[in-house]
């Protein structure tokens, strides 16, 4: 790998920030990554589903084999009534191509460990417990001051610092996430041997009740419901709330309910809609992932869209000499139609669930969207 003299600062050590760092290092670009949390989110979260188009990016970054080793591939979904009676089972579309599974379930801590190892092995310079305090820029670079009192100068700064991106605010982009009215409970539970695909139940005490394998021995369960006042939900009651909702579902939910005892292992989050409508950059600072867009998990495409951002931006930076306004505009223009399609479809499906719209064309909208995602980003 031949080093270039150009340097990129990546702000945020989540999925998109880590994969972007690995891809840029593969192109010979010098990278520094800073992450506000000193533990690098190494133990946070329950599970995640990576659709085929996300796995395609993982393979491009050289991470597919590790992800496959620690996760569980799924190629279909079983839809049931709330009592557990099967309605139908179907194979999912392989959005990453026929040589990759339709999806893969993985524990978030396992995924983060894989990403951390890859970033460190890539030669990226990492600063934990450290983030940006301010920035000024000119035509050739960005001068950054950090919260630990240090400074640095970079050819480009990438904001991968999430839904509530501080960097987005610092550079004057005013778009902010808005709640959709949905919220989701998530937890990791033991996996019965006969669960080899995603299971979804619509209706019952929650809008959606689902579970999906994340390894040979684990799966993650989730319950999507109308959002509550977060301040009124005591974290000490999280396990009780999940068991209460799960009591309305049969089949494997009986075992899930019995295994949820520790409130610290339950995550409760609101679902937001977010899409920066204008430019995704200001000068030499550019947004990727949740900093630019986010949506409810009704299509399980949030991580995939963030990973595709990383892949497209890395490709453009690695193949163009001029890192200028035209290049960063081309990145946004290439991503925007695809991201908007996913955000709008995800929000619409969520709204149908909130409305109890039984005649809604959920299957048709999902099919059209996933078919479009088989095309390269």
Q: What is the pLDDT of residues 336-372, one digit of tens each?
A: 999 999 999 999 999 999 999 988 999 999 999 999 9
Q: Is residue 208 part of a domain?
A: no
What is the per-residue pLDDT for 231?
Answer: 79
Q: Is residue 23 part of a domain?
A: yes
Model pTM score: 0.96
Phi/psi at 108 (5° precision): -60, -40
What is the per-residue pLDDT for 201?
Answer: 95
Q: Is residue 210 part of a domain?
A: no
Q: Is residue 302 part of a domain?
A: yes
Residues of the chain with pLDDT under 70: 1-4
What is the per-residue pLDDT for 275?
Answer: 98
CATH number at residue 278: 3.50.50.60
Q: Which domain holds residue 293?
A: 7-71+106-177+273-369
What is the per-residue pLDDT for 230?
Answer: 80
What is the per-residue pLDDT for 5?
Answer: 82
CA dihedral of 345, 106, 33, 292, whole degrees rounded to 10: 10
Q: Is residue 93 part of a domain?
A: no
| Number of domain units in the chain | 1
What is the per-residue pLDDT for 44?
Answer: 80
Q: Is residue 168 part of a domain?
A: yes
Q: Is residue 261 part of a domain?
A: no
The answer to whether 287 touches 168, Cβ cutoff 8 Å, is yes
E strand map for the chain: 7-11, 30-35, 47-51, 72-74, 76-80, 86-91, 103-107, 125-128, 132-137, 142-146, 151-154, 156-159, 178-190, 198-202, 208-213, 218-226, 266-275, 281-282, 285-287, 293-294
| HSE-CB for 65 with a 13 A CA cutoff | 2
Q: Is residue 351 part of a domain?
A: yes
What is the per-residue pLDDT for 4?
Answer: 59
What is the per-residue pLDDT for 1?
Answer: 54
* Residue 213, CA distances (Å) to 47, 151, 192, 218, 225 in order: 9, 44, 9, 6, 21
Closest CA to 209 of 368, 353, 46: 353
Residues across the chain: 377
């Amino acid at each position: 790998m031949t080093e270039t003299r150009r340097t990129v600062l990546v702000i945020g050590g989540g999925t998109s920030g880590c994969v972007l760092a690995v891809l840029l290092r593969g192109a010979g670009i010098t990278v520094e990554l800073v992450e506000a949390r000193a533990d690098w989110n190494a133990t946070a979260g329950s599970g995640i589903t990576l659709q085929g188009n996300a796995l395609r990016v993982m393979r491009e970054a050289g991470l597919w084999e590790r992800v496959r080793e620690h996760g569980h591939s799924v190629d279909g979904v079983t839809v049931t009534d709330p009592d557990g009676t099967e309605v139908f089972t179907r194979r999912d579309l392989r959005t990453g191509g026929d040589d990759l599974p339709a999806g893969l379930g993985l524990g978030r801590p396992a995924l983060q460990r894989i990403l951390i190892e890859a970033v460190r092995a890539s030669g990226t310079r990492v600063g934990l417990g450290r983030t940006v305090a301010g920035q000024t820029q000119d035509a050739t670079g960005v001068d950054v001051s950090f919260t630990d009192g240090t400074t640095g100068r970079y050819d480009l700064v990438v904001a991968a610092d999430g839904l509530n991106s501080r960097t987005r605010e610092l550079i004057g982009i005013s778009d902010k996430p808005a709640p959709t009215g949905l919220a989701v409970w998530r937890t990791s539970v033991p996996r019965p041997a006969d669960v080899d695909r995603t299971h979804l139940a619509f209706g019952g005490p929650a809008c959606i009740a689902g579970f999906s394998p994340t390894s040979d021995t684990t799966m993650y369960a989730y319950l999507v419901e109308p959002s509550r006042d977060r301040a009124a939900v005591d974290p000490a009651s999280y396990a009780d709330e999940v068991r209460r909702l799960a009591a309305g579902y049969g089949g494997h939910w009986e075992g899930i309910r019995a295994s949820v005892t520790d409130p610290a292992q339950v995550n409760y989050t609101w679902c937001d809609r977010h899409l920066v409508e204008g430019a995704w950059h200001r000068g030499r600072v550019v947004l990727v992932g949740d900093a630019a867009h986010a949506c409810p998990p009704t299509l399980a495409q949030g991580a995939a869209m963030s990973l595709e951002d990383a892949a497209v931006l890395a490709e453009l930076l690695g193949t163009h000499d001029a890192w200028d306004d035209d290049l960063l505009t081309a990145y946004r223009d290439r991503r925007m139609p695809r991201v908007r399609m996913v955000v709008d479809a995800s929000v619409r499906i969520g709204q149908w669930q909130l409305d109890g719209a039984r005649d809604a064309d959920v299957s048709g909208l999902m099919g059209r969207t996933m078919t479009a995602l088989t095309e390269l980003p």
